[in-house]
Structure 1
Amino acid sequence: MAEDRTAWLGIDLGTQSVRALAVTVDGDVLGSGVAPLRGRRDGIRHEQGAGDWWGAMCTASRAALHSIDRVRIGGLAVCGTSGTVLLTDGEGRPVGPALMYDDGRAAAEAGRAREAGLLVQNGWGLPKALWLVREYGVARQAGADAAVRQAHVRLAHQPDVIVARLTGHPVSTDSSHALKTAYDLEHDTWPYAAFAELGLPDGLLPDVVGPGTLLGEVCAAAAERTGIPAGTPVIAGMTDGCAAQIASGALREGSWNSVLGTTLVLKGVSSTPLRDGTGVVYNHRAPDGNWWPGGASSVGAGVLAAHVPAAGPAAMDARAAAFEPSGALAYPLVSPGERFPFLAPDATAFVLGEPASDADLWAALLQGVGLTERLCLDYLHHLGAPLDGPLTFTGGAARSPYWNRLRADILGRLVRVPEETEPALGMAALAAYGTGAARTLADAAEAMVRIRTVLEPRPGRTALFVDPYTRFVGELEQRGWLPASVAAHARARANLDTAGS
């Protein structure tokens, strides 16, 4: 009789879907599942319902586990979109919609938070928390029990409500998701004095634990809905960007991971925090004590959705190869406002020049993401980040061989693409580490991650994009979004690779 195997379950609460992967410690993906999500977008508004997350999670986990035989689930961890928050009651049940990471309605609250001395961006969780308290807090509660009801309102990050359903009780949040709600990772505390100045209610903020901490076990009711065995350990996760970084295996100092999904996220590893007085780059704290500096841009594959014909993305990729470089120059923001490599709440997408065809426009959009990605790396170099380690591509867009090749050429550096590029794999590795199956998180990730492709940049192709890059940098500077010092640094490096030279 075959010996039972152990797998770890990673769950990724994405923008457009929930994904689940069951992975062995040596990287065999035994099962996978996905379920779609729909949000409500209207201008700067972007909301989702936590009930939809739970339903999709149940569908995805059942799909991942339904055909697995004689496999023990050693543990699970959940990641979510960074900066997505909502309010819950004392039992962990939502009392309103979730404001997604790119919801733009809390700009005024972000300004108030910065006046209180907190280095936050408009789309971060703290401004949204202030907005939610105003919209769904005491002022909106009627009746004599308003204060009592408000006292039980709690702020939750996206994975918190799912983990509460899995364990059957409210849970602490992880410090990775708490970062954008202004949690002080260096001192391991909430900035209570600033919160008091902002008028946040006492008791609103959850307790915080480090990623990889045991939060509880899957309860019987959740086991029936999800197919995950009751008693399975539930481990505190990290944000989707950090999860993708784990899935890339880029956990040694100087390594970087570029996550290209709906939007673009870059994260690396440093022994010390990377200081950025503008707040563009922020630092996550890894379970092993290292720092993971990085930032999240508003460009990404999400912009392609409106341009996909019936032929599909692969066919468009093949046609786009004839336009290197494109006759047009694109800055493909998914939604208004930019967060990295500069802060510009008023930034808007643009396409300069007349694309010769829909294929040329497709090429311009792909290249625009690559040019922004290059500028992100140049900004990190400007701050003194260690960039000499390997660069890995993950995220949904890494499934496109053409786009991977194009990005490697634009960046002018060697790139690795793992066999499995999903953040859910990173959560499986974190679950393995959190349950003691690996000595370090880096060990767990390197055992699970399998590199599928290594891409060498083609110097001739890289040279073709020097002029578009300098024009792109100049356009962003001329519009007042990109600081002159950063633009000058980028131009000085236009003929170099992005590996820290």
Structure 2
Amino acid sequence: MNGQSHLVLGVDMGTSGARAVAMTAAGEIVASASAKLAAFSDHHRDPLGWWQAVQAALEDTLAAIDPMRVRAIGIDGTSGTMLPVAADGAPLATPLMYNDPVDDAAILETIAAHAPKESAAHGATSGLAKVLSFQSLPGVFRVIHQADWLAGHFTGLYDVSDENNALKTGYDPVARCWPDWLARTGARVDLLPEVLPAGGPVATISPPAAEALGLPRDVVVVAGTTDGCASFLATGADRPGDGVSALGTTLTVKMLSDKPLFAPEYGLYSHRIGDMWLAGGASNSGGAVLAAHFSAERIAELSARIDPRTETGLDYYPLTKPGERFPIADPQLAPRMEPRPADDAEFLQAILEGIAGVERLAYERLVSLGSPELRSVRTVGGGAKNTTWAAIRERKLAVPFLPALSEEAAAGTARLALSGAREAGVL
């Protein structure tokens, strides 16, 4: 088969459903499909519903291509979603989702006592807290992440994870191992999965899975990642200094670094991706501030009246209420949005400038913590569509603004599958 005709599959299991894409070796998406979780289950903690949604998205994607061209597949899941399983992968309890807290003070206290301050395993929603809450169930073989469990349906292996999903479960991405302190929390280390680099080849697809999906029997299944890491990779950012700003309800910035960054005071930790590190933080500023003052229609109308080459001179730090986490760690930080101009267009411009200023400070914070200088920015989220805001941001950040190749997390997982296919020598 001509190597140029080879394809890989990327699958994203999100909070409301699954999406799959087929990607060429050159990174072009040639087919995609999605499936709503609600079509298969009436609640989002249903593993069978997850798998049925993944199957449906894959089947529709494969219907648009020649399945025999597929060489590799990767899958991501929501970070911190975990479930206990038997050796055959059968779930032994209702999963705990990424935002489900463990309501056990003793568990949280023992993690706080033993986990290093820079570990991502702190907090009631951490993967480690969920391991400790599940590990005493009868017959438990492993406690694994959502992406691990779904990938197991392709390989038959339910004891393999990736470095990104394992981070919140206590994995040490610098030493690349489960650290010794985990046992001191009372965690049963024998229940933790083997961890591989994100995108690393795990195994060839199992014969039953290949037959069920109509795929070749030598398709390589690669170690997955989290939905957040996959969304970053989907944009095409792939070099140290590449930044991605998500302009949603909140402002989130992420950047690839040549060294790991850990700053617990900012809730900042680093995911390992190949030989690089993905670090970032989330501000309380962002689209929620705009929505508190203007409708989407009004923002569009007023934006057309703004000259982004000018500056209002108003030094805003836009927040809806006191408190900030990144790039300033201050739970009492007061919003700064005065004086308010009489002209709504000028007021909107000052808010847009203010959020852009927070964005600039966020990247400067990453640099101050050891990242390389910002070299480019790609933008995702609803705010990316506002060209006036983009011009303001580009003026303040003073780096090239590059197009995001995709906002689909499944495209990021497909890029990992490309990497794994090359490593396995099948592409």
Q: Is the 8 Å Cα contact of residues 80 and 125 (structure 2) preserved in structure 1?
A: no
- 2-side partners of 1:331 and 1:68: how far apart? 47
- Shift in Å at residue 100 of structure 1? 3.5
Q: Which residue of 2 aligns with 1:291?
A: 276
| 1:436 and 2:418 are equivalent in the alignment | no
- Shift in Å at residue 181 of structure 1? 1.6
- 2-side partners of 1:64 and 1:18: how far apart? 12
Q: Deviations over 1:370-409 (max 9, x none)?
A: 5553342132133242124222224676466566556545
| 1:201 and 2:188 are equivalent in the alignment | yes
- Shift in Å at residue 105 of structure 1? 4.7
Written as runs of structure 1 = structure 2, the 5 A alignment for 1:90-101 is 90-101=87-98
Greater RCO, 1 or 2 (C-alpha within 8 Å, sep 6+): 2
Q: Is the 8 Å Cα contact of residues 201 and 220 (structure 2) preserved in structure 1?
A: yes
- 2-side partners of 1:317 and 1:279: how far apart? 31
CA RMSD of aligned residues (A): 4.5
Q: Is the 8 Å Cα contact of residues 5 and 72 (structure 1) preserved in structure 2?
A: yes
Counting aligned pairs with the same residue, the percent is 33
- Shift in Å at residue 24 of structure 1? 0.8
Corresponding residue to 1:170 among 155, 158, 167:
158
| 1:119 and 2:117 are equivalent in the alignment | yes
- Shift in Å at residue 262 of structure 1? 7.3
**Alpha-carbon spacing, 1:343–1:104, altered in 2? closer, same or farther (3 Å):** farther
**Alpha-carbon spacing, 1:301–1:24, altered in 2? closer, same or farther (3 Å):** farther
Written as runs of structure 1 = structure 2, the 5 A alignment for 1:208-219 is 208-219=195-206
Q: State the SS of the aligned residue for 1:269.
A: strand
Q: Deviations over 1:398-448 (max 9, x none)?
A: 466566556545645431122423232222222112111799xxxx9xxxx
TM-score by length of structure 2 reads 0.76
- 2-side partners of 1:84 and 1:362: how far apart? 38
Q: Is the 8 Å Cα contact of residues 398 and 417 (structure 1) preserved in structure 2?
A: no
Q: Is the 8 Å Cα contact of residues 295 and 339 (structure 1) preserved in structure 2?
A: no
Q: State the SS of the aligned residue for 1:189.
A: coil
Q: Which residue of 2 aligns with 1:128?
A: 126
Residue ranges of structure 2 left out of the alignment (5+ in a row): 307-311
Aligned residue identity for 2:130: L
Q: Which residue of 1 aligns with 2:406?
A: 420
TM-score by length of structure 1 reads 0.66
**Alpha-carbon spacing, 1:35–1:347, altered in 2? closer, same or farther (3 Å):** farther
| 1:53 and 2:39 are equivalent in the alignment | no
Q: Is the 8 Å Cα contact of residues 120 and 170 (structure 2) preserved in structure 1?
A: no
- 1-side partners of 2:345 and 2:378: how far apart? 27
Q: Is the 8 Å Cα contact of residues 7 and 24 (structure 1) preserved in structure 2?
A: yes
- 2-side partners of 1:99 and 1:368: how far apart? 38
- 2-side partners of 1:217 and 1:366: how far apart? 49
- 1-side partners of 2:228 and 2:198: how far apart? 14
Q: Which residue of 1 aligns with 2:309?
A: none
- 1-side partners of 2:130 and 2:407: how far apart? 34
| 1:391 and 2:377 are equivalent in the alignment | yes
- Shift in Å at residue 111 of structure 1? 5.0
- Shift in Å at residue 64 of structure 1? 2.1
- 1-side partners of 2:392 and 2:50: how far apart? 34
Instruction: Please identify, of 174-183 and 118-127, the stretch whose mean Cα deviation from structure 2 is larger.
Output: 118-127
| 1:318 and 2:300 are equivalent in the alignment | yes
Query: Alignment length, in residue pairs?
Result: 412
Corresponding residue to 1:77 among 65, 74, 78:
74
- 1-side partners of 2:341 and 2:49: how far apart? 39
Q: Is the 8 Å Cα contact of residues 204 and 218 (structure 2) preserved in structure 1?
A: yes
- 2-side partners of 1:216 and 1:133: how far apart? 25
Q: Which residue of 2 aligns with 1:12?
A: 12
- 2-side partners of 1:105 and 1:347: how far apart? 27
Written as runs of structure 1 = structure 2, the 5 A alignment for 1:192-341 is 192=180, 194-223=181-210, 228-259=215-246, 265-276=252-263, 278=265, 280-287=267-274, 290-297=275-282, 315=297, 318-319=300-301, 321=303, 330-331=318-319, 340-341=326-327
Q: Is the 8 Å Cα contact of residues 266 and 281 (structure 2) preserved in structure 1?
A: no
Q: State the SS of the aligned residue for 2:98.
A: coil
Q: Is the 8 Å Cα contact of residues 47 and 99 (structure 1) preserved in structure 2?
A: no
- 2-side partners of 1:284 and 1:82: how far apart? 12
- 1-side partners of 2:226 and 2:396: how far apart? 28
| 1:65 and 2:62 are equivalent in the alignment | yes
- Shift in Å at residue 352 of structure 1? 7.0
- Shift in Å at residue 29 of structure 1? 1.5
- 1-side partners of 2:329 and 2:44: how far apart? 23
- Shift in Å at residue 160 of structure 1? 0.5
Q: Is the 8 Å Cα contact of residues 81 and 127 (structure 2) preserved in structure 1?
A: no
Residue ranges of structure 1 left out of the alignment (5+ in a row): 39-45, 142-147, 445-501
**Alpha-carbon spacing, 1:29–1:125, altered in 2? closer, same or farther (3 Å):** farther
Q: State the SS of the aligned residue for 1:212.
A: coil
Q: Which residue of 2 aligns with 1:456?
A: none
